[in-house]
Amino acid sequence: MSTVPSELAVETEPKGVLPTGSAPTPARRVIATLRKSPAVVVSVGIIVFIVLLAVLAPVISAITGWGPYEYDPSAIDSDLGGIPIGPLGGISAEHWLGVEPGNGRDILVRVAYGARVSLMIAVSATLITTTFGVVMGMISGFFGGLADQIISRVMDFLMAFPSLIFMIALLSALPAGNRPVLLVLVLSIFGWPYTARVIRGQTMSLRNSEFVEAARASGARPLRIAFREVLPNLRGTIIVLATLAVPSYIGTEAGLSFLGVGVMPPTPSWGQMISTAVGWYAVDPMFFLIPGTFLFLTVFSFTVLGDNLRRVLDAGDAA
């Protein structure tokens, strides 16, 4: 994260007299607590696995010998309408997770490349919305007044929007272009208020705390107070919000791709693969089960991690 506070700023805060009790829980203690939870360990394991899958997609492609766009007519039965030859959707030594019906593309390689697209979009959107949301939320909460009025109205407006249907309308009207970039933009436009709203609330309560008053009395300038005193105290919240934003963007991207307005073929994406699988689900269930399982595991793991981070950080705050 871009919000690593300077150690000095954290240490010089008068510990124990914080009215909101929101001293940042030391990262080491948080990690130690999280490591005791089997659910978290498994989730982190799955996330690492998916990230490796995404990063190593070209390597996997080289090892299996199949490209993401490469057809394999020998793996499908053209007499039966193109269903994969062999059990479980054509799982074999040649194609480890089977092939797509109709064209025989390798599912493992496409899932790996799909993970790339999904993670890249979700992580980019998370970075943008977190940065923008934190800045907007802090300006709004710290300075109040007219800036707060304007930012709050814009947030209210964006949040009153039925964003999914609007994203669909927007994406269906936009020309093809660079789909992943468009998706990141659209997700970010509607995503940042959810971060900003929480940050605004917390900044408002921190603004009136004693250590901020102390800093103000010692002559620190507003910007310095905002970045050195308030921001470090928001670290936990920011990490939790960002961790939970990733799965929500992955889910939304997959949904949009499923509906045909997200990532466009031939670029592989999980939502789009499941969408194609709708026509085949009765004869080749593996085609929707495999990408669906990857999608589920990714969203599930990030959510479990985010939930537990929040629990541990909240408990740390209360202590």
For other proteins, the binding residues (CB under 8 A) are 157, 160-162, 165-166, 168-170, 172-175, 247, 251, 254-255, 258-261, 271, 274-275, 277-278, 281-282, 285, 288-289, 292, 295-296, 299-300, 303-304, 307
> For 26, which DSSP code?
P
Report the distance separating Cα 263 and Cα 17, nearest Å.
51
Q: Compute the least distance from the CB of residue 270 to other proteins, in Å.
A: 9
Nearer Cβ to other proteins (201/285): 285
Q: Is 11 exposed, middle or buried (0-12, 13-18, 19+ CB in 10 A)?
A: exposed
Q: Do the bridges between strand 76-77 and strand 83-84 make them parallel or antiparallel, or are there none, so unpaired?
A: antiparallel
Q: Compute the least distance from the CB of residue 317 to other proteins, in Å.
A: 15
Neighbour-count burial for 207-229, b at 16+ CB within 10 Å, e otherwise: bebebbeebeeeeeeeeebbebb
Beta bridge partners of 82: none
Nearer Cβ to other proteins (25/275): 275
Nearer Cβ to other proteins (28/36): 36
Q: Compute the least distance from the CB of residue 316 to other proteins, in Å.
A: 18
Beta bridge partners of 76: 84
Nearer Cβ to other proteins (69/161): 161
Q: Compute the least distance from the CB of residue 35 to other proteins, in Å.
A: 20
Helices marked H in the chain — which ranges?
A: 7-11, 27-35, 38-55, 57-64, 87-90, 107-143, 145-160, 163-173, 179-207, 210-217, 222-224, 231-233, 235-258, 270-277, 286-318
Nearer Cβ to other proteins (142/287): 287
Q: What is the CA radius of gyration of the chain?
A: 23
- Show Cβ contacts of residue 264 under 8 Å, excluding neighbours closer than 6 positions: 176, 179, 272
Report the distance separating Cα 299 and Cα 189, nearest Å.
21
Nearer Cβ to other proteins (206/304): 304
Nearer Cβ to other proteins (53/277): 277
Nearer Cβ to other proteins (168/230): 168
Q: Compute the least distance from the CB of residue 251 to other proteins, in Å.
A: 6
CB atoms near residue 92 (< 10 Å): 15
Q: Compute the least distance from the CB of residue 281 to other proteins, in Å.
A: 5
Q: Compute the least distance from the CB of residue 223 to other proteins, in Å.
A: 32
Q: Compute the least distance from the CB of residue 264 to other proteins, in Å.
A: 13
